[in-house]
Each structure stands twice: as C-alpha cells, then as structure tokens.
Structure 1
Amino acid sequence: MSPEFTPSSTPFKPLTAARDGSNFTYESLHNRVPHILTDVINDFYASIQKSTSPAAISEGKALTSQLSQLKHEMVTDKVLSPLDDDKVGDIDVWNHWLGLYFPTATWYTTPFLTWETYLYRRIASIFKRSEHWSRHDFFAMKKEATFKASMVAVAKLCSRVDALTRDSLADSENKTKMHLAFVEMLQASLWGNQTDLSMFPDLNSEALEEMQARISSGENNSKIVANDTDRIWKIVSQLQGGRIDIVLDNSGFELLQDVLLAHWLVSLGYAQKVVFHSKRIPWYVSDVTNEDFFWLVRAAQTPSLIGTKGMATEDEAALVSLGNQWSQFLADGTWEVKDELFWTGPYGFRYLPTEGKDVWDNELIKADLVIFKGDLNYRKLIYDLEWPISTPFVDALGDIATDPRAPAIVALRTSKCDTITGVDPDRAKELFAKQKDWMYSGQYGVIQLSPGRWQGV
C-alpha cells in the first residue's frame, strides 16, 4: 500500500458534507439518507404490527427506539460510536478501523463513504443482535415489491435474451455478431444499475417500467461517458471456458440483467464458471443478499407465484425456461453465489490484497475477469475523493490493478455520487455545461477496464 494513502490520509480530499449545504454529500446526509432510515422505521413498525408474538412485538418496539436513536445521532452530528458485537464476525474489524482512522469523527466531518457504510452496518447490527428479528431483512418488502410490479417487462426481457442467445449459438462463428451481442448484454447490465432503491426510494412501478424501457431500447447508451467495451470484448472473446466473477449491487431488475449477462456468457462458452458475490447482511436498501438471488431464480421458474397478469404466453415460457436453466447452473456448480464479509466491511477495495486477502487470494485472482457492479462498488474501488476527473481509472485502483496476478477488473456504474475518474476533460466540460448534476443524477454511466494480467488489450 502506498504510504500516502490510508483511509484517513488520501492524496485528494474526500467527499464530506459541505457546511453551506452546497454539495450532494450534504444533500444525502441531510435529506436523502434520513428519509431512507425513516422508511426503515416505518416499514419495520408495520412488520411488528403483523406479529402474533408478544415477545417479538415488545422486542420490535425496542429495536424501533434504537433505530430512532441512530437517526437522532446522524441528524445532530454526533461522533460515530463503536458498533456492538452482533456475532456476524466483522465487528472487531469495524471498531479497530473506526478507532484507528476516525476516532473523533462526526457524521458531517466524516467522509461520505465512511458514514454511509457505517450507517448500514449499524442498522444491520441492531437487528442481528435481537432474538426475534435477527433474520429480518428490513428492505425485503421494498425489493420484492418493485420486482413484482415489473414482471411483464421482466418476462419480455427474458424472452429477448433467450432469442438473442439462441441466435448467437446458431451463428457463433460470426465474430461481428458475437461482438454486437456482447455489447448489448454488457450495456444492459450497466443500465440496470439505474434501478437503485437507495438513490430512488420512492420509485413507483410506472417509473420503473419507463426506466426499463429505456434500458432495453439502448436509448441511454450515448450517456456512457467512459467506454472500454471493445477492450473488454478482446479479453472475453479469447476466453474458452474461463471464469468470470460479478460483484453484485442491486437486487431485482439490476440483478436480472446481471444474471442474463452470465447466462449469455455461459451459454456461448466464454465462461465455464460464474461466481456471484452477494452481501451477507441487508445493505444499501436494495443490494443483493443470497436470499434475494435465489428468490429471483424461483420467481423465474414459477412466475405464477408472483403474478403473470398481462404477460404474453411466449414471454412466460421463456422466463420459466431460463429459470430452470439457472437452477441447474446453480445445482451443478456452473454458477456459485458467495457472500464474503469483506463486501460489507469498512475498507475500500484497494485493500483487498491485505485486509481482504482471503477474497483476493482464494477467489478473485482465480477469475479471468471480475465485474464490479454499481455506484457503491465503484466508490469503494476508487474511494470517494475529489479526483481530477481525467485521472486514469487504473491509477485510482491501487494494488488491485498492479498486482501481477490481478484479473481484468471491469466497472459498470451509473454515477450517483460526485466522484469519477477516466473521463476526457473536454467531455466533462461539455457535461457540466449541459447538466450540473450529471455526476450524481444516475443518468450517466461508465464501462471501465483495468486489464490486470491481460496487459496489451
């Protein structure tokens, strides 16, 4: 690790909440995230009301008080307090990190990436330490409801990808056709990241349908502000039964896009194995847990349990067919889902070779290519810093780019925070003139590559 880079001493200023309220970090801390925490409290209160156990109800009310206390600490700018042990296995890491790097930091003085990840870890610890609610996913209702509301669009998309995969298999020697199909699948996975419930907590079914239509149509592709797709294809097209890992972000429609990309890669023989990396605890409203992943596969296999009203017969058939194939991929080990604790820990991903050594040495370096999905994973890849916008993506990654064993690293991210690298300065100037909030509006994206041991592509 370079000596000038520690979590509390970085080469460029970290994003913190501006005292004059002028930046997105302030907006998130002052308005957006308290709104999310209020939703957690209200939704959990509704769950308590459904319980028939007096003990669970009593404990639930106590948990609600703890959540309210957390919100009070956040909005009144208290010091980030140590976490209570919830037996998940990473509290000592969290508390050592807080004590070493941010011992007296408050919510408004702490870097955005620090207080936001701390918030979600602390919410999880409140539930995990309980007797009756330790397995309760306080975001599950919202995640499942948005997916259920879009089942017609889901089935249409699956039918489209099923047809695309069959067409690709029938003409797999046509490299131009394979390239174009890959571009479509990769960009669909990118734009699936727009369906993020931590950024859009009030997303309704109509807005979701409209967003999905834009994603599927390719309308947004001109908004990719840094695009290494062709270089990524050079790597993927050389694979014959390789391994591709996907570090997941949001469940629901984004997860579906990721699963469809994996389906295409395996079906065409580019990947013999795909490993999906999920979160062990509920995280950032809509991030994928193991339960979310397997729920999606079951929903595809048996859509009638979710709702098929308005769904075309041929689309439903394609959805069921793909769901059955995915279940088989999981059964025979072609696909694996793993939930390492590092992904919900405090360290940025440049620390994978040291603080996340088990994940780095035992998993990621075995992959030919690792795809990091979404805004938070991007922020943890490069850190929430005021990077000069033209800083090469590779330069911001640290040791995970320079390790001679490193896999190719791909970032697929729609930008929802005002930190970014690898953008041409003239392009950035044009974007700022057109839309001041382009870096955190969620309307623009990047597809970026660090080639790792695939040097020369």
Structure 2
Amino acid sequence: MPAHTINPNNPPCPAYRASEKGTFAWDTSARRWPVILTSVIDDMCKAIAQESNQTKIAEGKTIVEGISQLKNDIEHDRPIRPIKEDGKPDVAVWNKQIATYFPNSTWFDGSWLYNECLMYRRLRELYNLSTLWQDYDPFLSQKNATFKGSFGAVFELAHKFSNLIDVNSEEDGQVMFHELMQVCLWGNAHDLSLLTNMSQEDIRNLQATGKEKLEEQEKNIVVNDLDKVWNRVKDLKNARIDFVLDNAGFELFVDLVLADWLIQTKKASKIVFHCKTVPWFVSDVIEDDFPILLDSCLQPDFFASESPSQEDVTALKNLASRWQQYIKEGQWVITSHQFWCTGLAYRHLREEAPELFDDLANNSQLVFFKGDLNFRKLTYDCKWPVTTPFATALGEDLNKNFTSICSLRTNKADVICGLKEGQQEKIEQTVSPLVWRCGGKYAVVQYSSGRE
C-alpha cells in the first residue's frame, strides 16, 4: 500500500475493529471498557465522599455523570463525537483527525486502537472541564495497591541490586542483562487495564525473578531477540538510552532496576524516561508516578502490612536513594510529550511531533518501547501476516532513522509479526490464538538495528 494512503482508519493491513463480534477487540470494547469506567466512577464516589468543599463536590458529581454517559454511549455503540474545547492544546488535533478519518464512525466500527485512546481522552476531557479536579488521577489508588501487592518481587530485586554491581566478565554481564530484560518483560503483566483477565497468582508467577522460573518463562517468548539486543548493548559506552514507558508500579520499578544497571556498567551515562502527559490506560506512567514510587520505597510503613524485615527495608531504601541521586544529577531525565497520548501509530511521529522524532532519532543510541500499547502503535495494530518482519511493520521512517529499537511486550492484543514459517501452527497445536496472542502469558522481544 502506498505510504500516502495509510492513515488511522486505513492501516497498512486491515485494522482490528470491535464491530467484529467475538474478537478480542469486541470483547475489550463491549466488556472491559465499561468495567474500567465503572471502576473510575467508584473511585470518584469515594473521593467525593471525603470532600467538604461544596464546589468540588458538585464538580465531582458532574464528572461522574459524564463518565456514566460515556459508558452508556460505548455500550450502545453510539457515534463518536469531537472533543469539547477543554483548554488543552491537543483538542484541535484530535478533532481534525476525527473529522478527517472517522467522520461517521461509532465506538465499535472505528479502528480499535484509535477508539481505545479516544476513550481515555474523553475521560480526561471531563476532568479538564472542571476547575478543582484537573490534576486528579482516578487510577492512582489502583496503581499504589498493585505495587504494594508486588512486595515479594520488589524486595527480592532490592536485595539483589541495592549494592553496587560488580560485573567481572562480558559473560557475567550478558547473564545479568538477560535476567533483567526478562524481569522487565514479564513485569508488563501488571497492566491494570487488563487485570480482569488474570488472577493475582498469574501475575505473581509472571513477576517471579528466580533463574529457573525465568528459564521456564523464556519458552513463552515467541519472538526472542534478546541476543540481538545484548549485541547492541555490550558495545555501548556512556550512551543515551531511552525508555518509552508503559505501566507504573512494579513494571516501572523493574524498568528502573534495568536503567540502574545500564548506568552502573557505564553502558549509558544518560537515561531518558518518556511518560504520558495524563492518566492513561489505567496504569500507564505519568511524571507524578516517579516521586510517588520513590517515596513509597523510602517509607518504612508502605509495605508494613506485609511485615518486611529491617533488611528488606534497608535494601529498598538504598536502591531508591541511589535513584533519587541519578535524577538530581541529571543522569536520569523524566519527561513527557503530548504525542504519547494520541490515537496515532508511531509511523506518524515525524509529522505530528517532529522535535520528538528528531531528538530520539539523532540523540538516542537505543530506544526501549515497553508494553502492549507501544507495540500496537509501533506496528499500527493491524492484521499483518504473522511472518511479516518487525522492521516492515515498523515502517521505513522509524526503521531507517532511529539508531536501534527494542520492543518488550507481553502479548495482550491480536497484532503479531516476526514469527518463523510454521511457528504459528506449531504454537496453536497446544494453545488457542486468543491465549497466546491476548492472554498476557506469551511475549515478544523484538529488535530493529535501525540505520547503519
């Protein structure tokens, strides 16, 4: 397909749409979105009940009414509408896209990727139109609760990495890097927008950091470019490495453990963390989540209900204190950009956010894209033949202008590429497509070497 015909409603291959009953896109739109919005209503009602400011109470009730209306519109597959003028700079961009690409679309027959992002932007519209709730994160309590529930893996990693790292050989470095990459990969299981599909036991198993467990889980990485990524990383020295982040809480914690390792081993001298600008997809990282996580690690009573030992508390404090120092000294940079909160695939990065594109293309030696949503946006969330090379799915702009890209993703949506001939058929001899593509228990680590 010629590049000029590709747009949000016309990807390189057919888009996934919720209008196809029985598909994962349909299940997400018909079942999971209303569950998420109901959870936000519950959170708002609790927050309102704790307020004494009558103006804020009234505004909170208006927001709840708006969420209920949004939920009702989705459940009845009503037409999508433009974003109301809520004072934010992205309104005109969204509305131009809706008018151009989705003028007659409903919540189910537009592209699943775009509509899912639009739902979160419509939710934020309700807060933006208020005066006293604009900075409120309705997902914060869920993010904190699930991080607290990850205490076992948190303390295990803290004990292992709280002291300065001593890597005696390249082989030792490779082993440690592989382990950290897997922990970062499976940490993505803690996606609160999909938590209704997984039990707490499933999540704990995926978070397990023991060597034997990781070796077992590696069998479920259906495209595994870990060695290619290591071959890139081992030759880096004092590089800039970027993380386009996914989930807060435990996944952010393990991303920081990997970033710490990259700094200590002098593979990187600067790490740039890219956050969302607003609460997004329930558990995605916003800039405020960084100080919240670090403060939680430094507070002795945050995990108090789990009875950590003094040794646990000290190890975690040492780790978090070192991370605070990285931020203070500018070795870690925390930033956000409006582009990450659009409905667009990343093929549109250069045209929509040229300064962000140029910065990543010209200044970063390696960009990690974390999680399922980033993978969907990297590959345009469409029905690629499963053997399509990752570089083809990325598109020429990203593949030939970025130095190197690594996507770490547990599979929670249909889109997949990079499989070997016959691999899909072999996988599906023992597991259904819905499970290995969408269940969060299989994964990919995919790498593009980018420009020479």
Q: TM-score range by the shorter chain?
A: over 0.9
Residue 49 (structure 1) aligns with: 49
Which amino acid in 2 is paired with 1:106?
T
Equivalent pair of 1:301/1:322 in contact (CA under 8 Å): no
2:229 alignment counterpart: 232
Q: Which residue is equivalent to 2:268? A: 271
- The equivalent residue for 1:445 is 443
CA RMSD, aligned part only? 1.8
> Quick one: distance in 2 between partners of 1:26 and 1:215?
37
CA distance in 2, matches of 1:316, 1:205: 24
The offset of 1:54, in angstroms, is 1.2
Within 1, Cα distance between the matches of 2:141 and 2:66?
21
TM-score after normalising by structure 2: 0.95
Instruction: Indicate if the aligned counterparts of 2:165 and 2:265 stay in contact, CA closer than 8 A.
Output: no
In structure 2, the partner of 1:185 is 180
Deviation of 1:157 after TM superposition, in Å, equals 1.6
Q: Tell me how far 1:271 sits from its aligned partner.
A: 0.4
Residue in 1 aligned with 2:138?
A: 138
Is 1:243 the counterpart of 2:240? The answer is yes
For residues 77-92 of structure 1, the aligned pairs below 5 Å read: 77-92=77-92
CA contact 1:152–1:311 (8 Å) conserved in 2: no
Measure the CA separation in 2 of the matches of 1:443 and 1:367: 31
Q: What is the aligned residue count?
A: 447
Equivalent position of 2:24 in the other structure: 24
- 1:392 counterpart (372, 389, 392): 389
Q: Is the CA contact 2:184–2:258 (under 8 Å) kept in the aligned structure 1?
A: yes
Q: 1:430 to 1:161 in 2, by over 3 A?
A: farther
Post-superposition offset of 1:55: 1.2
- Counterpart of 1:149 in structure 2: which amino acid? G
Alignment of 1:186-225 (within 5 A): 186-201=181-196, 208-213=203-208, 217-218=213-214, 219-225=216-222
Q: Deviations over 1:126-172 (max 9, x none)?
A: 11221111111010010011112333431222212336x5232xx1x
1:345 to 327, 334, 342: 342
Q: C-alpha distance in 2, partners of 1:447/1:326?
A: 26
Report SS of the residue matched to 1:145. Answer: helix
Percent of pairs with identical residues: 35
1:14 corresponds to? 15
Cα 1:452–1:202 shift into 2, 3 Å: closer
TM-score (ref. length: structure 1): 0.94
Equivalent positions of 1:37-436 (< 5 A) are 37-162=37-162, 166-168=165-167, 171=168, 174-201=169-196, 208-213=203-208, 217-218=213-214, 219-307=216-304, 309-403=306-400, 405-436=401-432
Supply the distance in 2 between the matched residues of 1:187 and 1:69 (Cα, whole angstroms).
Answer: 41
Shift of 1:206: 5.5
SS at structure 2 position matched to 1:89? coil
Write the distance in 2 (CA, Å) between the matches of 1:11 and 1:211: 33
Contact 2:12 2:380 in 1 (8 A): no
Q: Which amino acid aligns with 1:15?
A: Y
1:204, distance to aligned residue in structure 2 (A): 6.9
1:151–1:308 Cα contact (<8 Å) kept: no
Give the C-alpha shift of residue 79 in structure 1: 1.1
Alpha-carbon distance between aligned partners in 1 of 2:243 and 2:355, rounded to the nearest angstrom? 17
Code of the aligned partner of 1:84: K
SS of 2:241's equivalent?
strand
Q: Structure 1 residue 310: deviation in Å?
A: 2.6
Rounded to whole Å, the distance in 2 between the matches of 1:443 and 1:426 is 21
Q: Which runs of 5+ in 2 are unaligned?
A: none
Deviation at 1:110, TM superposition (A): 0.7
1:448 aligned partner, one-letter code: Q
Compute the displacement of 1:213 (Å).
2.3
Deviations 1:266-309 (A, max 9, x none): 01100000000001100000000111122111222334345374
Point out the more displaced range, 421-430 or 99-108.
421-430
Q: In 2 relative to 1, CA 414–215 (structure 1 residues): closer, same or farther, beyond 3 Å?
A: farther
Offset, 1:106: 0.6
For 1:202 and 1:215, the matched residues in 2 are separated by 24
- Structure 1: unaligned runs, 5 residues or longer: none
For residue 166 of structure 2, give the secondary structure of its aligned residue in structure 1: helix
CA deviation string 1:392-412 (max 9, x = no partner) = 000011133343x41201100
Question: Secondary structure of 2:272's match?
Answer: strand
Check the 8 A contact 2:327/2:333 in 1, yes or no.
yes
1:374–1:402 distance in 2 versus 1, CA, 3 Å: closer
